[in-house]
C-alpha cells in the first residue's frame, strides 16, 4: 500500500513531539542561546555600493576610520574604542573563568570593551580587559561598589533581547563553590534572578539611581542603559530622559545562558525593526550621535555590523557569535555532544553545565578544553575579520569613516525588511508604511 506521509501544517512532527514531552514531564523546556526561528534580519538588506553617482574609496590606499567614542554626554571619562564592535555581557557562572578571560584578552588586543554579567566581576576578567563594562542587574548578585569604581563604564540592565520582561537563570549544576561565593548563595541550587530592579520602578526613580551611580564613581564612568527589544521607541526615549550616556538595545535574536524556550522564541521583536525604532526616537529627541546606540542580537558578520551602522547604530555588541569564536558548537568532542542529545551546530545546552568545548561550564575537566590564551587569539582574529569586512563595505559605499554609512546606502530584499528597516525595496523607491 502506498504510504501517506503528509505532515500536519498545524501539528508538524516537532510540535507533536513537544506536546508529548510536555505531557510526560509537566514542565517547560529551558535552554541557552537565542531564537532558532527565522525572522527578518540583516541578511534581508543589501548595500547599493558606489558607481557613477557615488565615488568609492580605494581599499588598499585610502583609510577608513573605525574608532568610536562612547559616553561623552555626561561622563568625565568616555571610552574611546578602536573598533565599533564590543563584547556583550555574559556572566561568570554562565561562562567559565577561562572563557571570560579569553574574551577580555581578544577584545583588549583589538582596543575594544568586554562586559561582566550577573554574578559580578572576576579578577581574571578585570586583569585581561583593557575596557571593562560592569553590569548592574536586578539580581544584584556579586554587586560590589568597589568594582563599580574599577570598571570603565557601568551598564544598568533593564532587559535582555532573549527575554524582555524576564530574569536570569543559572541552574544548580553550574553553581560551584566560587560562583556561589561570589553570589552569596548556596552551592548546587538553581538560581533565578529578579526580572526587575528592587530599588526603582520607573524612569523617574532610574534618574535618581543614575545620579547615585555617578556620585559613587565621581562622574567619571559612562552610564549605559540596556533594554531588550520590547518597545524600543519608548524605552529609548525614557532611557535618554533618565540620563543615559549610551543606550544598548538587544534584539530578540540575542542569546541567554538559560531561560524558557517559550520566552526565547515568543517574546521581543527582531533586531532589525527594533534598531530603526530606537534611531527614530534618538533623532526625534535630537540626541542621535549625542547618546550613543549600541545594538546587539544576531550580529555575526562584518556585513551585519555595517548594516547596523548604516541604520544608525554607533556600535554593535556580540555575545553568541563571540562564544562561537571560542568554539561553541565546534566539531570537537562529538561524543560529549551526543551525551547531551545533540550535535555540533545544533547545541543550545549551555544551561546543563556540560559544555563539550569548555565555554559554558564550571566543570574543571571541561573548562580545561579552553585555553584562554589560544581562545583569546581566536577572538582577536574574529574581531579583525569583522572589522576588515566592515571597512570593505564602507569604502565600497564611498565612506572614509564607518559611522558615515547611512540608510541611503541600503536596499531591502523583502517587503518585511523594507517596512522594518524603513529602506526602499530593491529596485523601487517604495518604503512600506512611510507617510
Nearest-angstrom CA–CA distance, 81 and 88: 14
Nearest-angstrom CA–CA distance, 270 and 273: 6
Q: Does 402 bind ligand SF4 (CB under 6 A)?
A: no
Strand partners, 86: 317
Residue count, binding to ligand SF4 (CB under 6 A) = 14
Helices (H) and strands (E) in the chain, counts: 15, 16
Q: Which residues contact 283 (CB under 8 A, 6 or more apart)?
A: 312
Among 154, 281, 357, 396, binds ligand SF4 (CB under 6 A): 357
Q: Are 371 and 387 in contact (CB under 8 A)?
A: no
3-state class (DSSP) for residue 71 = coil
In whole angstroms, the minimum distance from the beta carbon of 160 to ligand SF4 comes to 16
Among 349, 369, 380, 399, binds ligand SF4 (CB under 6 A): 349
Q: Are 13 and 7 in contact (CB under 8 A)?
A: yes
- Region near ligand SF4 per CB under 6 A, out of 199-207, 208-216, 281-289, 350-358: 350-358
Q: Does 35 bind ligand SF4 (CB under 6 A)?
A: no
Q: Does 350 bind ligand SF4 (CB under 6 A)?
A: yes
In whole angstroms, the minimum distance from the beta carbon of 33 to ligand SF4 comes to 5
CA dihedral 422, 425, 427, 430 (to 10 degrees): -70
Among 33, 151, 291, 303, binds ligand SF4 (CB under 6 A): 33
Cβ proximity to ligand SF4: between 355 and 375 the closer is 355
- Region near ligand SF4 per CB under 6 A, out of 69-77, 109-117, 242-250, 341-349: 341-349
Among 100, 105, 130, 348, binds ligand SF4 (CB under 6 A): 348
Q: Does 163 bind ligand SF4 (CB under 6 A)?
A: no
String of contacts with ligand SF4 for each residue 306-335, x by CB under 6 A: -----------------x----xx------
- Region near ligand SF4 per CB under 6 A, out of 142-150, 187-195, 352-360, 404-412: 352-360
- Region near ligand SF4 per CB under 6 A, out of 114-122, 223-231, 357-365, 398-406: 357-365
Residue found under cell 538559560? 258
In whole angstroms, the minimum distance from the beta carbon of 248 to ligand SF4 comes to 22
Q: Does 90 bind ligand SF4 (CB under 6 A)?
A: no
Q: Are 308 and 299 in contact (CB under 8 A)?
A: yes
DSSP state for residue 95 in the 8-state scheme: B
3-state class (DSSP) for residue 412 = strand
DSSP-derived secondary structure for 252-290 = TT---SSEEHHHHHHSS--HHHHHHHHHHHHHHTT-BTT
Q: Does 394 bind ligand SF4 (CB under 6 A)?
A: no
- Region near ligand SF4 per CB under 6 A, out of 191-199, 208-216, 345-353, 407-415: 345-353
- Among 235, 114, 239, 241, smallest CA distance to 164 is for 235
By the 10 Å C-beta count (0-12 exposed, 13-18 middle, 19+ buried), 123 is classed as: exposed
Q: Which residues bind ligand SF4 (CB under 6 A)?
A: 32-33, 323, 328-329, 347-350, 355-357, 359-360
Amino acid at each position: 500500500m502506498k504510504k501517506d506521509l503528509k505532515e500536519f501544517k498545524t501539528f508538524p512532527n516537532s510540535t507533536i513531539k513537544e506536546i508529548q514531552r510536555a505531557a510526560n514531564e509537566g514542565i517547560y523546556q529551558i535552554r541557552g542561546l537565542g531564537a532558532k526561528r527565522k525572522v527578518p534580519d540583516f541578511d534581508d538588506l543589501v548595500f547599493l555600493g558606489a558607481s557613477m553617482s557615488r565615488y568609492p574609496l580605494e581599499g588598499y590606499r585610502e583609510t577608513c576610520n573605525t574608532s568610536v567614542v562612547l559616553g561623552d554626554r555626561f561622563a568625565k571619562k568616555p571610552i574611546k574604542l578602536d573598533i565599533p564592535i564590543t563584547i556583550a555581557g555574559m556572566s561568570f557562572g554562565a561562562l567559565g573563568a577561562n572563557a571570560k578571560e579569553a574574551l577580555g584578552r581578544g577584545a583588549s588586543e583589538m582596543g575594544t570593551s568586554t562586559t561582566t554579567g550577573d554574578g559580578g566581576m572576576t579578577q581574571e576578567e578585570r586583569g585581561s580587559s583593557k575596557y571593562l563594562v560592569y553590569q548592574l542587574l536586578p539580581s544584584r548578585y556579586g554587586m560590589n561598589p568597589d568594582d563599580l569604581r574599577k570598571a570603565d563604564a557601568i551598564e544598568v540592565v533593564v532587559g535582555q533581547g532573549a527575554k524582555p520582561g524576564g530574569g536570569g537563570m543559572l541552574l544548580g549544576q553550574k553553581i560551584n563553590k566560587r560562583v556561589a561565593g561570589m553570589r552569596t548563595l548556596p552551592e548546587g541550587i538553581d538560581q533565578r534572578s529578579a526580572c526587575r530592579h528592587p530599588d526603582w520602578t520607573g524612569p523617574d526613580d532610574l534618574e535618581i539611581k543614575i545620579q547615585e551611580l555617578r556620585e559613587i564613581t565621581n562622574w567619571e564612568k559612562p552610564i549605559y542603559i540596556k533594554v531588550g527589544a520590547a518597545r524600543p521607541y519608548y524605552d529609548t526615549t525614557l532611557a535618554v530622559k533618565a540620563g543615559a550616556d549610551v543606550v544598548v538595545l538587544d534584539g530578540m535574536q540575542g542569546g541567554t545562558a538559560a531561560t524558557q524556550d517559550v520566552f526565547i522564541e515568543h517574546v521581543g521583536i527582531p533586531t532589525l525593526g527594533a534598531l530603526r525604532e530606537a534611531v527614530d526616537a534618538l533623532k526625534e529627541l535630537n540626541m542621535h550621535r549625542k547618546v550613543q546606540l549600541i545594538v546587539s542580537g544576531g550580529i555575526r558578520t562584518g556585513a551585519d555590523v555595517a548594516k547596523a551602522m548604516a541604520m544608525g547604530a554607533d556600535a554593535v555588541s556580540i555575545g553568541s557569535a563571540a562564544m562561537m569564536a571560542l568554539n561553541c558548537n565546534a566539531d570537537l568532542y562529538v561524543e560529549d555532544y551526543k551525551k547531551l542529545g545533540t550535535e555540533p551546530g545544533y547545541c543550545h545546552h549551555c544551561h546543563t553545565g556540560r559544555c563539550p568545548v569548555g565555554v559554558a561550564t564550571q566543570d574543571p575537566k571541561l573548562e580545561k578544553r579552553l585555553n584562554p590564551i589560544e581562545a583569546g587569539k581566536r577572538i582577536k582574529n574574529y574581531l579583525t575579520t569583522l572589522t576588515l569586512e566592515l571597512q570593505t563595505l564602507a569604502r565600497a559605499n564611498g565612506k572614509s569613516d564607518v559611522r558615515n554609512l547611512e540608510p541611503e546606502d541600503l536596499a531591502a530584499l523583502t517587503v518585511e525588511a523594507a517596512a522594518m528597516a524603513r529602506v526602499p525595496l530593491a529596485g523601487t523607491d517604495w518604503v512600506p508604511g512611510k507617510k
